[in-house]
Each structure stands twice: as C-alpha cells, then as structure tokens.
Structure 1
Amino acid sequence: MKLVEIYRVKTFVIEENLEKVKQGVLSIDSLQVGNYKNVMWQSQPGVEQFVPSEDAVPTEGGIGEKTDVASIRLEFSIPRDEALLRKVIEEGIYPNHPWDEPVVQVSEELEART
C-alpha cells in the first residue's frame, strides 16, 4: 500500500446538468485510480439554497429572493498538480455548469493505493 497526494474536488450541480459536468471533467482527465478510470462519486439529491444579489445572473430564482434547488454533490480526485486542477475547474466544470458562480471545493488529501 502507498499513499498518493491528491486533490479532492467537489461541486454541486442540478441533475439536468450532471452528465454535462461529468463529461466536461472527463474531457480533461480520465480520473484514473489504479486499474479503473472515470472514477467519480455522486450523492443523492440534496437541497442547495441561495439568494442572488443584484450582480448575479441566476439560472434559478430571482434577484433578492431565497431559492431552494435540488442538487447533487459530484466528487472526484486528481493528482496533486495545480495546472491540472485549474484546467479541470476552468475548462471542465465552469463551462458545463449552469450557475454563473458554481461552488467548487478543493482539498489536499492522501489516497491509499495498492
């Protein structure tokens, strides 16, 4: 067993755009873990809440009003390479996500590999 330094990337997306975001990410990196590729995790729909400000361009809801939307948490890991991370976010997630300000969370972690 060895420990590999990775970035864990999480984003939240509505079901209608889930496959588009997944394919955008996979067009940048195959998400390989050992002998498996396209390795991703997704949760059951939860509820995302927000209030768009005057500068927002909301896909859902209106300026100044609280909006609740069912969304899915999509999570995956990539090697700890900042250039790859930026490319995955800027070219894989952002152009395929419906929100003008998608939430993308990144943490540095260790992943066990055989």
Structure 2
Amino acid sequence: MKLVDIYRVKTFVIPEYLDAVVQGILSIDDLKVGNYRNVMWQSKDGMEQFVPSGEAVPTEGAAGAKTTVTSIRIEFSIPRDEALLRKVIEEGIYPNHPWDEPVVQTSEEKEARKHE
C-alpha cells in the first residue's frame, strides 16, 4: 500500500449539464486510480439554492429571487499538481458548466493506493 498526495475536487451541476462537465474533466485528465480510469463519484438529487445579484448572468432564476434546483455533486481526485488542478477547473469545468460562477471545492488529501 502506498499513500499518494492528491487534490480532491468537488463541483455541483444540474442534470442537463452533467455529461458535458464530466466529458470536459475527462478531456483534461483520465482520472486514473490504480488499474482504473475515469474514476469519479456522483451523488444525485441534492438541492442547490442561490439568489443572483444584479450583476449575475443566471442560467436559471432571476436577479434578486431565490432559486432552488436539483443538483448533482461530482467528486474526483487528481495528482497534487497545481497546474493540472487549474487546467481541470479552467478548461474542463468552467467552459462546460452552465453557472456564471460554479462552486468548485478543492482540498489537499492523501489517498491509499493498493496497486501503484
């Protein structure tokens, strides 16, 4: 067993854009874990809420009005390489995500690898 340094990345997206965001991420990195590629977790049927400001360009809802939508959490890990992290977010997630300001959370963690 080996412990490897990784970035854990999480984002939230409405179902209609799930495939586009996933494909955007996979176009940057194949999300390899051991002998597997495209390793990603999806938690379905959460609820996301927000109130767009007057400067927002909302895909859903209107400025000043609370909006609640069904959202899916996507979670995956990549090697702890800041250039790769930025590329995944800026080129994989942002251009494929419908929100004006998507929530993308990252954390530095260690993952156990049985076969690496």
Q: What TM-score does the superposition give when structure 2 sets the normalisation length?
A: 0.98
Number of residue pairs matched by the alignment: 114
Corresponding letter in the other structure for 1:80: R
Give the distance between the partners of 1:56 and 1:94, measured in 2 at CA.
16
Alignment of 1:2-81 (within 5 A): 2-81=2-81
Give the distance between the partners of 1:32 and 1:53, measured in 2 at CA.
39
Give secondary structure in 2 for the equivalent of 1:37. Answer: coil
Q: Give the share of equivalent positions with the same residue, in percent.
A: 79
CA offset at residue 45 of structure 1?
1.3
Unmatched 5+ stretches in structure 2: none
Give the distance between the partners of 1:45 and 1:99, measured in 2 at CA.
18
CA offset at residue 44 of structure 1?
1.5
Unmatched 5+ stretches in structure 1: none
Give the distance between the partners of 1:44 and 1:103, measured in 2 at CA.
16
Corresponding letter in the other structure for 2:86: R
Q: Deviations over 1:32-81 (max 9, x none)?
A: 00000000000011100000001100000000000000000000000000
List structure 1 segments (4+ residues) > 2 angstroms apart after TM superposition: none
Q: 1:106 aligned to 2:102? A: no
Query: Considering only aligned residues, what root-mean-square deviation do their CA atoms show, in Å?
Result: 0.3
Q: In structure 2, what is the equivalent of residue 92 of structure 1? A: 92
Q: What TM-score does the superposition give when structure 1 sets the normalisation length?
A: 0.99
